[in-house]
Each structure stands twice: as structure tokens, then as C-alpha cells.
A and B are shown apart, each in its own frame.
Chain A
Amino acid sequence: MSRPANLKYTRSHEWVRVEGDVATVGITDHAVEQLSDLAFVDLPRKGAKAEKDQRFGEIESTKSVSDLIAPLSGEIFDVNTEVIENLQLISLSPFDEGWLIRVRISNPAELKSLLSAEDYAEQLKHEEH
């Protein structure tokens, strides 16, 4: 699985695609691999507020529950409800069809805290040790 270079990443394994004032958010291939078998995803309602570094949902596998952490603040104006019924979209296509929420960015300054693809790859190397 190739990890897109044009996306931004978080230390908690979310990815962000920024287009104008809209951020699309999902979880990375690495997160999918670690979770292994997805059992359940809990996503917010449309219109909820995302707050940077706060939990916006949960994702569960057979053995674990993980929080989904908002990379940016803003209104969640779109939610991928298809993945709730079809978790395979996340595992098979984490960077595309498996997206989770779309956020209208309220504080563009927060973008600076996100990791580049390179920084994220570097972090994963350290996690292995």
C-alpha cells in the first residue's frame, strides 16, 4: 500500500487531505495494519464540532478500542456513513474510499502542526524500535 505524499499526517495515525478550507480525514494504512480486523467504527453526526487533538470517534477491532483524534478544529460538515456499514472500505482503501469525516477548517494556523509524509514515515521507524 503506498502512502500518498501530498497528504498531512498525525502522530496518532490519522491522515488529512487539505483542499482550500476543507480537510478530509481518515486513518492511515499503518493504523489499519495495527488494528488488523476492524469490528466497529463510531463517527460523529454531521454538524458536530471537531476540536484539534480531541476525540471525534472510536474504532474497534477484535482486541482493542482506539480513539479517533481530530487533526484540526472546525465543523464536521460531512461524514462517510458508508464505512459504518462496510468497514472493509477502511481496510481496503484507507486513503480514499475509507475516509471518515470532512471538516471546514476554522483555524488554518493548526495546519503547521501536522506531519509531512516523510516525517510520518520517520515516526513509524522510531515506533518499531
Chain B
Amino acid sequence: MTQTPSLERTCLADEHLRLGAQMVDFHGWEMPVRYGSIPEEHLKVRLSSGLFDLCHMGRLEITGADAALWINRVLSNDYDALKPGDARYSLICNEGGTVLEDVIVYKLPEPALSSILLVVNASNRPTVLQWMQAQKGSLEAKLVDRSIDLAMISIQGPQSVRILPACLEKSDLPLEAMKYYSITHAQVLGKSAWVARTGYTGEDGFEVYLESGDAPTFWRQLLEVGGNRIAPIGLGARDTLRLEAGMPLYGHELDLTVDPFEAGLGFAVKLEKAVPFVGQEALRARKAAGPARKLTGFKVQSKRPVRQGMKILGPAGEVGSVTSGAPSPTMGCPIAMGYLQTGLNSEELSLLKADVRGHLEPLEVVPLPFYSRTRKKK
């Protein structure tokens, strides 16, 4: 018998078991990978809506007189450009300008004005906590890990803007009036909560932060109110949804060997911001030099899925490697993202193949994202 280390369970674990989920170990958390079929869950989100337990993610609250200065020393994006109620995607880089973590930062509005909510990956929560402390110096601020007491539930898909309001007692802004990448204060089950119009699926949707004790009731309410317009969605479909949307996942597209420019995330690096930040000089140099490889989208021309770690071959040998790959439910063929050497000519680009356990599968280079809800269908 092998000893399995005990896994952390979210406040919604019993709900998942009741719904018949297949549970897996995801970075130390016992999480639902699927409730039924992954492609069906995926399409439910694209066409209607889906409900996600994201309580495994890290939620850190930063407060105090120097909170903004502290976070700005760490983030590649410019926190000072945010107005209360804004959300931003940002990277946390190390001194060498490679990626330690990617985050969503929220500048909370009333009644928590001047508080910062930072949402980080489950796998990187300890790293970020350590990193933040290391950058604090003598600043007047404190960081509270809210990952356990503050639940995180996401509802994504075109129907979410219709379903969610029925489960909120009130929200400071009507949800349909919220802009994408913003957050508002709300009331759920008699208590204070936050509703953000953010997500990781390529669809319109919301992420709700509420007291963990109320999360199971709220979860059941959403399923009940949504009826056949909503379904619980596991991490399997979450991964294929974000892949189609061309969104990076730490440990796949991002890690300490990658810089933001290679990853196509230059938009999240503000070299000219007023507060100096970790990695700034290295990033300036990397930007000036230009990336030697770029994150690229591929369509696989057979049905054989291409997956993380597989080599990408050109006519003259290895030119890259795959970071994520899966059958795409929306496109009906396998898709992949991976790093490809820059400077290949068009003939070389037309002859790329992935080495799938010895089978050489032709790859077609396609623009990222694979799927966009706002882009007109071709």
C-alpha cells in the first residue's frame, strides 16, 4: 500500500461528491476533474453557463497605508493605474525577468476602499506569500491569506449574467452594467460579498467571493435557479476552455524559464510605471533584445492529440515544444500551444510536426486565441 498524503478539501467538496464528480489531486487539493463528460461540460459553458469551484485558488488581501506601494513593487503591471473597482491581469517576475506567477489583482471599491485582493494559483500560493514578505521591507501594510475563509465560485458562459442576479440579494452595480475586468460589492445570504466580471474560459462570466460557510448554500441556489441552463464544471473542461481562449496556465505556458514577451504577455508589463518593481531592468533588456521564442497556437491536422512536453520539429530539427494540448470541443480537432523559435521562414512554418510518441503529426500554425466570443466567426 502506498501512503497518500491527505488532500485539502474545499468547502464545496461534499457538493461535488453528491453531484457524482470524479475527484483528483490538483496541487494538493481534492478537486472535481469532471462530473460527466469533459467535452459536454465545455460546450455547456460556451453555449449556456457553467459553475466552477475555485476555492483551491489563493486569495490574498492586502491592506494598510502602503498596500498599493507594496503590491506595485511586485507586479509587472501598474497597480496605480487602477481605479476602485478595477481588475487587472499581471505577472510577478523574479529579478531575472522570468515569470514567478500570474495573478488577477482587484482594487476593491467601497466599503473596502484601499484594500487589494490578489488571486493566485493554488500551486503558487506559498511562493507568492514568501515573495511578498521578502519585498515588504519597512512598509506599513499587512497581508491576510483569505484562501480558507473567503470562498471563490465562478459562473461562466452567456447565461451567467441572467442567472447570477437572481442569487444576489443586492449588488452595488447592476451586473449587466459592469464592465469586463471590474469588481463590485454585493450581498449574498445576508452577508457582504464581492462579484467580479472576470474568468478563465473565454466567455462572459463572474467570479464571486463570499464567506466559505455560505458557499454550499449559494452553490445549490445557483444550480437550482439556473436549472437546465447551468451545470457544474470540473477542472478538465476548465483546462480545455482556457486553452481555446489562448490563456496561459502556470506550469504549462508559464514558469521560471519564460519571460512575459515570449509568452505574448507584454501588455501586462509596464516598464515606465512610477514605482520600480522586481525584474524591471531585466525585463527592459529582454524586451529590447526581443524574444528568441514565442508562444504559438497550433491546429493538429490528424485526430491524435498533441500534449505538453512533446517536441515540435521543423525540416532541420527541433524548433520548439508543446506546453498544452487537447482535443478542442469547439473546433472539433486537437489544438495545442507551445513555444516556437522565432525567425522561421514560411516554408519551415508550413512543415512543422509534433513528435507524438514517435508519430509525426503535422501542425498548422494558427493565431491565438483559438476561440474568441467577440471575434466574428470566419
Which residues of A are at the interface with B, using a C-beta cutoff of 8 A? Answer: 36-37, 39-40, 42, 58, 60-63, 65
Pairwise interchain contact A39-B305, C-beta atoms closer than 8 A: yes
Query: How far does the Cβ of B20 sit from chain A's closest Cβ, in whole Å?
Result: 12
B38 with A37: CB separation less than 8 A: yes
Bound-state CA distance A36–B37 (Å) is: 6
Q: Is B266 an interface residue (CB 8 A)?
A: no
**B226 CB–A CB distance under 8 Å:** no
> Please, how many angstroms separate the alpha-carbon atoms of A23 and B303 in the complex?
28
Report how far A42 CA is from B240 CA in the complex, Å. Answer: 22
Contact partner of B327 (CB less than 8 A), chosen from A36, A39, A42, A58, is: A39
- With contacts A39-B334, A40-B327 taken as known, whether A62 is within 8 angstroms of B303 at the C-beta atoms is no
Interface residues of B in 2-36 (CB under 8 A from A): 22, 33-34, 36
Q: Please tell me if the beta carbons of A60 and B304 are within 8 angstroms of each other in the complex.
A: yes
Bound: A42/B302 CA distance, A: 12
Contacts A62-B240, A62-B326, A62-B327 given; does A40 touch B39 at CB 8 Å: no
Closest B residue to A41 using CB positions: B303
**Complex contacts, A37 vs chain B, CB 8 Å:** 37-40
In the bound complex, how far is the Cα of B33 from the Cα of A61, in angstroms? Answer: 13
Given A62-B236, A62-B327: A36 touches B304 (CB 8 Å cut-off) = no
A58 to B304, CA, bound (A): 10
Q: Could you say which residues of chain B place their CB within 8 Å of the CB of A58?
A: 357
Across-interface contacts of B39 in A (CB, < 8 A): 37, 62
The CA-CA distance from A83 to B36 in the complex, in Å, is 22
Q: Are B304 and A42 in contact (CB under 8 A)?
A: yes
A61, B40: Cα distance in complex, Å: 13
What chain B residues lie within 8 Å of A40 (beta carbons)? 303-305, 327, 334
Asked whether A60 lies within 8 Å of B38 as measured between CB atoms, the reply is no
Please give me the residue from chain B that is nearest to A87 by CB atom: B303
What distance in Å separates the Cβ of B354 from its nearest Cβ neighbour in chain A?
13
Bound-complex Cα distance A65 to B240 (A): 16
A63 touching B327 in the complex, CB below 8 Å, given contacts A37-B37, A37-B39? no
The A-contacting residues of B in range 33-82, CB under 8 angstroms, are 33-34, 36-40
Q: When each residue 300-325 of chain B gets 1 if its CB lies under 8 Å from chain A and 0 otherwise, what string results?
A: 00011101000000000000000000
Contact A63 B33 (CB under 8 A): yes
Report B-chain residues with C-beta under 8 Å of the C-beta of A63: 33, 38, 236, 326
Most buried by B among A37, A42, A58: A37
- A62 CA / B307 CA spacing, docked (Å): 10
* Bound Cα distance A37, B236 (Å): 11
Cα A60 to Cα B361 in complex, Å, equals 15
Q: Least Cβ distance of B252 to chain A in Å?
A: 14
Contact of B38 among A42, A62, A65 (CB under 8 A): A62
Known contacts: A62-B240, A62-B327. The answer to whether A36 contacts B305 by CB under 8 A is no
Distance between Cα atoms of A18 and B305 in the complex (Å): 33
- The docked-state distance in angstroms from the alpha carbon of A100 to that of B240 is 28
Q: In the complex, what distance in Å separates the CA atom of A40 from the CA atom of B39? A: 14
Residue of A nearest to B36 (CB): A36
A60 to B334, CA, bound (A): 12
Ordered by A's residue number, 23 sampled pairs between the chains whose C-beta atoms are within 8 Å are A36-B22, A36-B34, A36-B36, A36-B37, A37-B40, A39-B303, A39-B305, A40-B303, A40-B304, A40-B305, A40-B334, A42-B359, A60-B304, A60-B305, A62-B38, A62-B39, A62-B236, A62-B305, A62-B326, A62-B327, A63-B38, A63-B236, A65-B307
Chain B residues positioned under 8 Å from A42 (CB to CB): 304, 359
> Which residue, of A37, A39, A62, has the highest number of chain B Cβ atoms within 10 A?
A62
Chain A residue contacts of B37, Cβ below 8 A: 36-37
Write out the residue numbers on chain B whose beta carbons fall within 8 Å of the beta carbon of A39: 303, 305, 327, 334
5 additional A-B pairs beyond A36-B37, A39-B334, beta carbons within 8 Å, are A36-B36, A37-B39, A40-B304, A61-B38, A63-B38
Most chain A CB inside 10 Å of its own CB: which residue of B240, B304, B334, B359? B304
A104 to B56 CA separation, bound complex (whole angstroms): 52
Output the nearest chain B residue to A34 by Cβ-Cβ distance.
B22
From residue 347 to 378 of chain B, which have CB atoms closer than 8 A to chain A?
A: 357, 359
Report chain A residues within 8 Å CB of B34: 36
A40 CA to B38 CA, complexed, in Å: 15
A97, chain B: closest CB distance, angstroms: 19
Q: Which of B273-305 contact A (CB under 8 A)?
A: 303-305
B307: A residues at CB distance < 8 A = 65
10 closest residue pairs by CB, A with B: A39-B327, A62-B38, A37-B37, A40-B303, A37-B38, A37-B39, A40-B304, A60-B305, A63-B236, A39-B305
Residues of chain B within 8 A (CB-CB) of A60 are 304-305
How far, in whole Å, are A65 and B327 apart by their CA atoms in the complex?
Answer: 12
